[in-house]
Structure formats: C-alpha cells, structure tokens
Structure 1
Amino acid sequence: MNKKYILPSILGAAVQFFTVNPPLFAQGNTSIEIAFLADIHLQDVYADLKSSDFEGILNPKTGEFATIRTMNSQLNSTRLFNENYFAFLAALENLRKKGIHLVVLPGDFTDDGQPMNVLALQKILDYYSSNFGMRFFLTTGNHDTVKPFGGIAGKRDFLGNDGQEQAIAGDRNLFPSLEVAQSDQINYWGYTEVTEALANFGFFPSEKDLFWAHPFQDLDYENYSFDQAKVSSTLEIRTYSLQDPGLKLPDASYVVEPIEGVWLLALDGNVFTHSGTDLKGSSIGFNEASKLKEHQLAWIKKVTEEAEKRGKTLISFSHYPLLEFHDGASNEMAALFGERKFQLERVPTSEVTELYTSAGIQIHFAGHMHINDTGVFQDKTGKTMYNIQVPSLAAFPPAYKTAKIKRKDQFEIETIPLTEVDRFDEFFDLYRIEHRWLTQNNNSSTWDSTILASKNYEEYTQNHLKGLTKSRFIPSDWPENLVSLLSALSNPELIAWSKMDTEEGTVFLSEKLKNFDLTNIESSKIIDDFYLLKNGDELGKRLISEDRIEFYDELLPRIIEKEITTGSSPNKDLIQFFRIFEKFYHSHPSDHFVIDLKQNTLKKLED
C-alpha cells in the first residue's frame, strides 16, 4: 500500500485545489442526506504484494505494475474485480461534489478482506474523511470476513506476464499443481484485523458521535459516555456462542447517532457454521442469522423501542436483505427454475421478514444481491417494512443510492447511476494481451473481445452481464427447452401464441421445438431483457428499446389471462416465465421515490 499512485494522483492533479466542504448542517439546511454504496468489492489494482515472486503486470499506460484479475475470471463472476476500483473513486468524487457527508457501506466493501484490499480501503476513506469531512459507517459482508479468525488464502486467476493466469497465495501448497507467487497480502483477515484497520468507520465509538452502542451492553442513552463506550466496545466483549459453548464468535453490529435525531443501525448478518475442523461462512443471510444470532433480534427490538421513545429516525442497514427482492416472483421462479437456482436460498422467508418487522424495523438498506429493487411487507398488525436493495458498484447496474430525510418519517430516495467513470478502460490493453494468449493457445476460455469496445462504464457492466448470462447463468439456471423457445420464437409468433388456447398453443410450441437446432442457441433478446429487469429494475427498463417495450405492453396483458395447466409442458413453462417477467416489468418504484412511514405510502417521483 505504499504506492504513490493510489491517492491523490488517481483523482487527478486538480484534487489539491479542493477546499473542505462546510459543516453537514449549514444554516437553513432543512434535510439530512445519506449515501449508500454497496458491494464495492474493492481490490487494490496497483497493490504492493510485498513479494519478490510477482510484482504484477506492467501497465504501459501508467508505468505501474497492475495487480488485476483476468477478464476471463470477471466474465465468470457476478462481480467485476478491477474496474470497480475506479467506480468507487468516481462515486466518492460525486458525493464530494454534492456535499454529502454521511456515507454507509453495507458490506462487501472489499473483495475477500485481504490485507492489501482492506488497507487500500482504509487509505481511501481516511483521505476523504480528513480532507472533506466525510463520515463512513460500515458493516461486514460475506466477502469482508470470509473466515471469522482469518486464514491462508489465494487466487489462481491474477493476470500474469504474457496474458497467462498467475496464482498468488499465502502458502504455495494451496495450489500444489500451479506455479504460485507467495504473498501474505492475499490471506484472509478476520474480524479483529478488519475492524481494527477500519476502526474509524463505525465499528467502534467516535468522539464525533452523540451516541454509540452494541448488542452486548445496556442501551443507556441518558448516561452515555464516550470514554465508557470506548472501554466496553472491544471485540472480545462483543461475542456470542455458536452451539458449542466454548466457541465465541464476534458480532460487529452497532447503533450510532452521528447527527442529532438520526440513528444508524448496522446489523452484522454474517453467520458461520462448523465444517469439519474449520468454520465455514454462509451467504444466506437472515434466514440463518435469525436462528444463530437470536441475541441480535432481541437487541434490535430494544433499539427500535428506544428510538421511537426518543423521537429518533432509525435507519437499519446490513449486507443482507430482510425482504423478498424479486417483486413477489420468488415462489414462481422456484417452481419454474428450481428451488436452488437464481440464488433463491438467499431470499428471506416471509416468517423471517415478519420477525424483523415485528422487532420494529421500518426501513432497511441492503446489498449482497447486486440488484436495484424496492420491497414492501406489511404484517397482520399493520406494521410495514421497506427493504431497499442498493445496486453494486461492481456489476450492472452500477449505481448508489441517497436518502434525503425531509422529516422524521419521510425519505426521498434516489438512485444515482455511474454511467461515466474516469479511466474505466485503464486495463483494456492488458486484457487484449490475455485474449491474444488464449486465442493463440486455442484455449476454451477465450472470451468475446467486443466487451472492450464499451464506450462507458454502464455499457461495460451491461456487456459484462450479457457475457455472464451466456457463459454462466443460462447453462446453470435455465431449462433447455425454455431457452430454445425464447430463442426460436419471433415477436409476431409470441403474439400469435398468446392468442391460442392451451391445446393449440401446446401443439404450436412442440412443433417449434422439434424444428429448432439446440446446438445453435444464442442469448435471446428476451432473456437479456429479463436480466435487465431482474437486476436493474427501472434502471434496466430504461435500456430496453421502444419497439420492445411496445411488444411487451401488448404481450404481457394477454399472458396474465392465460390459464396455467397442471403437469409439465412447453406451454406451461412459457406462461410461467412471462408471468415472472411481468412482475419484474411492473415493479415498485426503485429509481427516485418517496417513502412516508407515517402514511405507509411509496410514491414514485418523476425526474
């Protein structure tokens, strides 16, 4: 982390002329604004590996040695590893210019919590804190504390010399069949190391805050003392038992009042279970945390009651969602695609959502799924919870959210896309070297190089999603017949099918499948639109062409009227698919909207 390139030069020379913004509440300011940046997955792309085995690959554009992952690895991952570094800096610059000082990072702020990545994040956040008065509040995700107490780790897919893969590990024996560059900078850090390095960003009390507490102490607002809070905030105190009474695991949850009247409730939803002699992390979230962290749920109830009693605006955030995030289509997706497809095990059950709603959470910001979505749940008593899914900076749609608190119970939420990101194409020439090596060696991992023609960061992430859909999502999640139908049928044929009865439609689709060459399946425009909607919601819908919008506006109302038969048939599968598609197509507002907790309303705002 001693490379001069990271800051401030990465922001350009003009940064030295910036002045510190005025205090958060200038006179006359009538609202509070908070930004939410999720799933940054920061990897230090110009890291000092502190190893003589491998410095990185020389980037002629900068004269620095880049420590980046291959494009092939990116096109097989739900997240980018490299360009998101620049997206994060672009987002921070955007916030600086807007004068937003409170910033929440709801987990996966690093890519696997290695020293080189945690320290890179620390340096960036310290820079914006000290120079521009910004405050950051973090909670852990499954990619920040992969193992609760750390451990040996490595990656086999860094880009090496001549375009080949280079394995880097803390121990050469991790990849016995490969030539490994050894570096302790790639090992996992645990809770102790991660929270100590990022201690200034919410994990521990600060003199700047009016109040701070964690689940393992009394919630004593009246007698709050910073000195006392500091003494009682050590991670050794903040532990719970995992079945085995002798094993204590950390819980980094906390509640903080950074400015008068606003409480931020940071929920550490990570859970770990025994896997042989080791502890295995889970990506499931609150379906498991509600059982293994019962102490946390009881504490949440105390916090929400205290916030209500004292007239505080309480905003909950975690890496994990508390509410179904597929616009009510998760059960239908399980029926069509399978219960373990589309990461459906990560969807909170209605019982779990009801538990946290009953505990008093009304508005919750989450990441983890790399999607843009708004979910609403109301229990039998009338209690309502709003779950706001913050998109990732490392995937489509690349965006963050802001919440403007106009009064105690009213929030204006806006989604800010990162369309233009300076230097997003910094490594494209290096990827061309990789592509040339794969092509020359007739490697089966050769990828479509047209992604390197992307004109901006949004287009780049959209092309990444298309590549991922073809290489990973369709082969792993989709029934072959459904992909064939969506590839074979033209728009006029689908409209004609929508007017047929069940028997006629079944015969028509069977004939189409009989004459369709399955070996020539390409990604369907409908499937691409499906992922634009599933991942991007309103942001994705904007990217669907006008003629296709007209087509869906004609087709989908007809599908809703069609009867779903029992048994299995291409006709039934197609109806089920378009019913799921319709729910994504007509979703709750997720771009720019107002939530009124007092009136229990969700209203879209037109730009």
Structure 2
Amino acid sequence: MKKTYFTLLLLSTLWQLPSIHSASFAQSQDIEFAFLSDIHLQDVYAALHSPDFKGVFNPKTGKYATIRSMKSQLNSTRLFNENYFAFIQALEDLKSKGIQLIVLPGDFTDDGQPMNVLALKKILEIYSREYGMRFFLTTGNHDPVKPFGGIGGKKDFLAADGSEQAIAGDADFFPSGEVAVSSQINYWGYEEITYTLSDFGFFPSEQDLFWAHPFQELNVDGYDFHQAVENSRLDQRLYRTLNSERLLPDASYVVEPVAGIWLLALDGNVYTHSGEDWSGSSVGFNQAVKVKKHQLDWINKVVLEAEKRGKTLISFSHYPLVDFHDSASDEMKSLFGEQKFQLPRVPSRETSSEYAKAGIRIHFAGHMHINDTGIFTDAESGKTLVNVQVPSLAAFPPAFKILTIPEPETLEISTIQLQTVDRMDEFFDLYRIEQQWLLEHQDPQRWDSTILHAKNYRDYTQMHLMELTRSRFIPTDWPENLAYALQLLSQKELEHWAGMDAEEGGMFLMEKLNNSKDIEQTDGLQGKLIEDFYLLKNGDELGKKLIPSDRRHFYEALFLKLLQKPLSDSQALDTQLVRFFRIFEKLYHSLPSDHFLIDLQKGEVKRVDRVED
C-alpha cells in the first residue's frame, strides 16, 4: 500500500497542530471518558451529486432529505435516520457535563460510505474546535465493510412519493429496478476512512503523551512525536491473513491522552476473500484470536509496560471479549439453536481466556446494541476480565457510558439514557407519505403508524424494538409452539404449570394450545412476556425498570417455584418452557450495568444505587 494523497494530507495536518498538552485534562480531580458506540451515522441531508436523485424535499427544513424508509428501519436491528440527531444530542449532553474525552467503539458510520464518513468528520471537528473535545475511534464491521473499499448501494432510500429508491455507485449494482447512481454511497476502505478521520486516534497527535501501534517497538522513554507520525503510516501496519498472500491493515493503537491513562484500541475486524472480492465478518474475537495472533503478543507487551509504569490500561474494541448474555448463552443455544440470537458472536470461554491471560482487565465494546456487564475469570491464571457493553445510539436502549477514574485501581461507570432528542420527529411527515403509499399498494409489510406518536426518543426506540420483535425475531428465532404458549398463558396458568411434573406439564400445555384458536388472557400477561424478555436482553437494568412492578413480582415468584422443576435434554414444549425461564432468570438477576464500580485489583463489580431525577 503506497503513500497516497491521504498520507501526505495526514502528515501536513499533524505537524501544523498547535502544541496543546493533554496533561491539562488531568488537572481535575477525576478523569472522565465517555463511550458512544454504534452510532451508525448516516448523513440525512447529504449531497449525493447524482443527476438521478437528490433526496426527498422536507417542507420542515426546506432541504432534501437523504433518508431510508421507515419500512427498512423497522426491519433492521438499528435505526438509520433519527440516530443522526441522537448523536448530536449525546454530544450536547457531554458538552453540558464538561466531558472532553470521548471514545467511539466502532460502527461510527452506516457502512463507511464517503458521505457518512465526511459527515462524521465535520461533526467531530466542530466539537473538537469549539468545545475542546477529543475523540478516539476504532473500526467496526460497518466501517470499513470491505478492507479496500468497493462499489456499494442501498435499495431503501425514501422517495418523494413514499416508495423506495435504490442508490448505488454503479447502475448495474442492483439487477432490477431503477437505480440512482452516486459515488457517495460506495464503500470506503481502511485507507480512506482512517486518513480522513486521522485526527481521531488512528494516528499520533501532538496533544498525546504517547502513541504506538502493534508493528513497532514500545519505546515509551524515547518517544518522539515526529518519529511516531512517520512510523504510523498505514503501509507499515499490515498483517498477512491465514489463507491469502494479501496484506491487510490493522488499525489498532495504544494512546496516552492524559497522564496515567492508556487507551488500548483493538481493531477486531476480520475479512475473508473470494478471488479479488473481500467480505467482512461480524463474529469478532472468536476469529480475530486466530487470524490476528500478532495482536495478542502486542497486548502482552502493552500490559507489561503499563504495569511497569503505573498506567491504568482501558481496552476498547467494537467487539466484546466476554459472554454478553449473563452466562445464559449455552442454554440459549439449546433452546433456540446455535445460529440464533447472535450466538455466533458470543466470545467462547477459550477466547475470553486468551485476552484475560494477556492482561486485559477492563474492556469496553459495542456491536451487540445491548446494555450489559460481563465478567470472566481465567481458571489457570486467576486473572479477571470485565467486559462493558456500550448500548447503541441507534437502538433500544439509546444510551452511552461515562467512565470516571477516581483512583488508578477503581473505575466508576454510569449509563446515561437519551430520552429527549431535539428534531427527533423531523421526518415523521415524510413517513406518513410512505405509509399512505404502502396502503395504496397493499404492501403486506405496512408498518404500525403508532410509532410516530412516541413521546420521546427512548420510547421511539422501544417501539422500534417491539415492532422488530413481532415482525422478525419471533418468526425467525423462536420455536413456534413456545412463542405461542408464552403469548397465550396467563399468570395463573403459568403458576399452575410450574407445580406439575414434566409429563403432566406437557399434557397441560398441549391441551391449552390445541383448544385455543385465538390468544386470550383473563388475568394476565396480555402477550407482554416476550416483550419483557427483550427489554431485559437488550436493556438489562435499563429495561428491567420499564417492566411494571406487578409483573416483576410475578417473575420473581415464578423463578422460585421453577427451582424444583427438573430440566432434561428433551425438546418437548414443557422442557422448552423451563429452559426459557432459566434463561429469563439469568438475564433478570444480572451484574449491575446501570451505575457501578469496578475494583480492578480484586476483579469485582459492585452496584451503586442511582438517585433518580
């Protein structure tokens, strides 16, 4: 990979930076970092430079909106449009809190397209220049989608009449239908993305006390900024894949932005190739531990240097390093199947062990769009690794984490939910035009318009999750009879079933299903049980607070009754129901994930009671 215009631009930009020493950040008593993950930024008013399509005119703003349809949003695990405003709101919240060190653990763009990378750069530059914020990024599977970029496209942009408009970098990208051509929708690769965002961690900054990457020596005492810039070129940060002679970039780095704190950014992206084409994998460290063995060797060196110099090492990546299902993943595989519920993305015990033994004690991750805290202790070494899952700003629960470091071995983490988001409803009138178009064309996937009555952004994302659960998750991920039973049974019937043995319980359940044509409840859950399950799975403590207290009391009593109910390997409905509630109970009684302390020396997590506003 040769030095391009991007390289020259990087070098000239870095050497012109003012000499601002980051140690000034450490003057306050506590050091604070914010973690904002899975922004999936899409420029909602992009300049497509296309003769075929410039967007849909929005009377509210007098501008042409380049947004995706609501239909596409409600079939995706993330929003595409309103998250743009959520990101701005989060930065405004951080500005008001005076927090200036901000980490973005990957998927900071929709798919690494030029229009979205440039939009992100513009936003970050504004907050850096005007409010003194510093941003540290790492790559996610959506940025870059392909290591060297390529032609890209999306079929679901909203058109003026409410239909969907395909946009691609080439007219032949989609085999049928009218395609608007725009190079702004193509995929950028590592070179374009990292050099465009060069000021945000991927390369050395004069504001930092130290910066290094995995393919150079950790020369802390002899650190020289100008030499670091020269050594940071992407063509010097390459590794060889297992089954290819082609060298791929690794954007990992370690940086000391404030005295005493090292941020370890791990690029966990893994790519496979077929001929000349490359595709990315979303599995994470289960593959990276094999494909990027050089990273583990480097992590060991970084950990040793950090310990020797008394530095607090904070690891972050797009991908998690510990089971994020509260140790329920094995039961979930037995009940739902190994390919459901994103289970291939769960780090294996062997993977967690490798990174724990390497010395990582605290790791922040995104990717899963969930709020969670996981802990793993390696049996051989006794080392403990705490994994903090940062929620997505584009899904429920929309939230970010604030890390406070009152002392080197103690971390305090609080979770800030986004409820009020300015301009959240900016496109709602356009969605109503889409809804009318779907109605006129009798589209079977016409969505429920009640989502447009959401009172705030958190409710909006919750309604998004519930619609996604109904239309996608239940039909594809759940055993049919189990899903039906959970929507059918009342509280009294579940309590009655919990006291039966397996044979009697099985007969009771099948009789109930066979005799019921329609779902009816007389005293109970009204189909809310599966919704509560997803509130817990995705939101953890944040979701638990949204479950009414009477249902929480019912679940707690039911868990106790089911302790006496045996569990077999059978796939009978009675066994499936027992297994489901065992999973539910683990998610319900989880580690703290809202406001908590981590004792790095003891490897312990302790809940901090939050005083609600």
TM-score by length of 1: 0.95
Q: Does 2:68 align with 1:65?
A: no
CA distance in 2, matches of 1:279, 1:510: 49
What does residue 567 of structure 1 align with?
A: 570
Aligned-residue offset at 1:492: 1.1
Q: Does 2:590 align with 1:591?
A: no
- Percent identity between the two aligned chains: 63
Aligned-residue offset at 1:26: 7.0
Aligned-residue offset at 1:28: 6.5
What does residue 506 of structure 2 align with?
A: 506
Look up the SS of the partner of 2:127 in the other structure: helix
Q: Does 2:239 align with 1:240?
A: yes
Q: Which amino acid aligns with 1:406?
A: P
Q: Which amino acid aligns with 1:561?
A: Q
Q: Does 2:545 align with 1:542?
A: yes
CA distance in 1, matches of 2:314, 2:462: 31
Aligned-residue offset at 1:25: 4.9
Residue of 528, 531, 536 corresponding to 1:533: 536
CA distance in 1, matches of 2:361, 2:246: 33
Look up the SS of the partner of 2:246 in the other structure: strand
Aligned-residue offset at 1:328: 0.3
CA distance in 2, matches of 1:360, 1:565: 38
Q: In the TM superposition, what whole-angstrom CA distance separates every residue of 1:39-84 from its partner, at most 9, and x where no partner exists? A: 0000000000011211100111111100000000000000000000
Q: Does 2:317 align with 1:289?
A: no
Q: In the TM superposition, what whole-angstrom CA distance separates every residue of 1:503-526 from its partner, at most 9, and x where no partner exists? A: 221211110121133799999310
Q: Does 2:30 align with 1:36?
A: no
What does residue 298 of structure 2 align with?
A: 299
Q: Which amino acid aligns with 2:362?
A: I
Look up the SS of the partner of 1:161 in the other structure: coil
Q: Which amino acid aligns with 1:242?
A: T
Alpha-carbon distance change, 366 to 86 in structure 1, aligned in 2, over 3 angstroms = same
CA distance in 1, matches of 2:245, 2:581: 52
| Contact 2:23–2:259 under 8 Å retained in 1 | no
Aligned-residue offset at 1:24: 7.8
Aligned-residue offset at 1:599: 2.6
| Contact 1:113–1:188 under 8 Å retained in 2 | yes
What does residue 558 of structure 2 align with?
A: 555
Look up the SS of the partner of 2:301 in the other structure: helix
| Contact 1:86–1:422 under 8 Å retained in 2 | yes
What does residue 4 of structure 1 align with?
A: none
Residue of 590, 600, 606 corresponding to 2:603: 600
| Contact 1:24–1:101 under 8 Å retained in 2 | no
Equivalence map 1:435-514=2 (5 Å): 435-514=435-514
What does residue 160 of structure 1 align with?
A: 159
Q: Does 2:170 align with 1:171?
A: yes
CA distance in 2, matches of 1:558, 1:135: 52
Look up the SS of the partner of 1:104 in the other structure: strand
What does residue 433 of structure 1 align with?
A: 433
What does residue 576 of structure 1 align with?
A: 579
Please identify, of 275-284 and 202-211, the stretch whose mean Cα deviation from structure 2 is larger: 275-284
Q: Which amino acid aligns with 1:52?
A: P
Aligned-residue offset at 1:111: 0.4
Q: Which amino acid aligns with 1:581?
A: F
| Contact 1:41–1:110 under 8 Å retained in 2 | yes
Q: Which amino acid aligns with 2:573?
A: P
| Contact 2:22–2:209 under 8 Å retained in 1 | no
CA distance in 2, matches of 1:179, 1:577: 46
Aligned-residue offset at 1:497: 1.0
Equivalence map 1:31-430=2 (5 Å): 31-244=30-243, 246-380=245-379, 381-430=381-430
Please identify, of 519-528 and 422-431, the stretch whose mean Cα deviation from structure 2 is larger: 519-528
Alpha-carbon distance change, 119 to 28 in structure 1, aligned in 2, over 3 angstroms = closer
CA distance in 1, matches of 2:308, 2:25: 28
CA distance in 2, matches of 1:262, 1:519: 56
Aligned-residue offset at 1:496: 1.2
CA distance in 1, matches of 2:245, 2:577: 53
Look up the SS of the partner of 2:77 in the other structure: coil
Look up the SS of the partner of 1:419 in the other structure: coil
Q: Which amino acid aligns with 2:341?
A: F
Aligned-residue offset at 1:244: 4.8
TM-score by length of 2: 0.94
Alpha-carbon distance change, 546 to 178 in structure 1, aligned in 2, over 3 angstroms = same
Aligned-residue offset at 1:553: 1.6
| Contact 1:304–1:360 under 8 Å retained in 2 | yes
Aligned-residue offset at 1:567: 2.3
Aligned-residue offset at 1:566: 3.8
| Contact 2:100–2:134 under 8 Å retained in 1 | yes
Q: Does 2:515 align with 1:515?
A: yes
Look up the SS of the partner of 1:173 in the other structure: coil
Q: In the TM superposition, what whole-angstrom CA distance separates every residue of 1:11-47 from its partner, at most 9, and x where no partner exists? A: xxxxxxxxxxx98857962110000000000000000
Please identify, of 50-59 and 572-581, the stretch whose mean Cα deviation from structure 2 is larger: 50-59
Q: In the TM superposition, what whole-angstrom CA distance separates every residue of 1:264-296 from its partner, at most 9, and x where no partner exists? A: 000000000123431110000000000000111
CA RMSD of aligned residues (A): 1.6
CA distance in 2, matches of 1:326, 1:67: 36
Aligned-residue offset at 1:245: 5.7
Q: Which amino acid aligns with 1:501?
A: D
Where do 5+ consecutive residues of structure 2 fail to align?
1-20
Alpha-carbon distance change, 213 to 333 in structure 1, aligned in 2, over 3 angstroms = same
Alpha-carbon distance change, 423 to 209 in structure 1, aligned in 2, over 3 angstroms = same
CA distance in 1, matches of 2:184, 2:569: 56
Look up the SS of the partner of 2:235 in the other structure: coil
| Contact 2:22–2:207 under 8 Å retained in 1 | no
Look up the SS of the partner of 2:278 in the other structure: strand
| Contact 1:470–1:523 under 8 Å retained in 2 | no
| Contact 1:484–1:516 under 8 Å retained in 2 | no
Q: Which amino acid aligns with 2:221?
A: E
| Contact 2:404–2:412 under 8 Å retained in 1 | yes
Aligned-residue offset at 1:533: 0.0
| Contact 1:484–1:518 under 8 Å retained in 2 | no
Alpha-carbon distance change, 26 to 240 in structure 1, aligned in 2, over 3 angstroms = closer
CA distance in 2, matches of 1:566, 1:229: 57
Aligned-residue offset at 1:243: 2.8
Extract structure 1 runs of 4+ deviating beyond 4 A: 22-28, 518-523
